[in-house]
Amino acid sequence: MTVTSQSSQTEILRVSTGSNPTAVAGAVAGAIRHHGVAHVQVVGAGALNQAVKAVAIAQGYLGEDQVELVCVPHFADIEIDGEARTAIRLEVEDRQHRIPGSHLIG
């Protein structure tokens, strides 16, 4: 997993086939707790599999805080080594769109 800054508020979590879903889940849960959203980007079926497993694990981490995650997929045009590629970006957020606060940080 690689973390890339998207803006001052959010980061893109880049997940690969070799990413550890538990580690990615921790990053997703942390982003949800602190920013209310996690941006997960993948290229390829194996990477998407790892990302979806990570979102499921993150749901378990956040469930005790009464957070129910939703995942909205969309395509993103990116460049890798000078070559145009299409990535899938998953926008993961709390279904209730609560503003991050002390009740989610623990």
59 is a domain residue = yes
Q: How many whole angstroms separate alpha carbon 30 and alpha carbon 46?
A: 23
Number of domains in the chain: 1
User: Would 36 be classed as within a structural domain?
Assistant: yes
Residue 105 lies in a domain: no
The CATH number given to whatever domain includes residue 62 is: 3.30.110.20
Over residues 6-36, the pLDDT tens digits come to 544 568 999 999 999 999 999 999 999 999 9
The partner residues of 90 in beta bridges, in order of sequence, read 40, 73
Whole-prediction pTM value? 0.84
Residue entry with tokens 């997993």: 1
Q: Which residues contact 42 (CB under 8 A, 6 or more apart)?
A: 14, 15, 16, 48, 50, 51, 87, 88, 89, 90
pLDDT tens for each residue of 33-87: 999 999 999 999 999 999 999 999 999 999 888 899 999 999 999 999 999 999 9
**pLDDT at residue 105, as a whole number:** 47
Domain that holds residue 44: 2-94
Nearest-angstrom CA–CA distance, 34 and 99: 9
Q: What is the pLDDT of residue 61?
A: 95
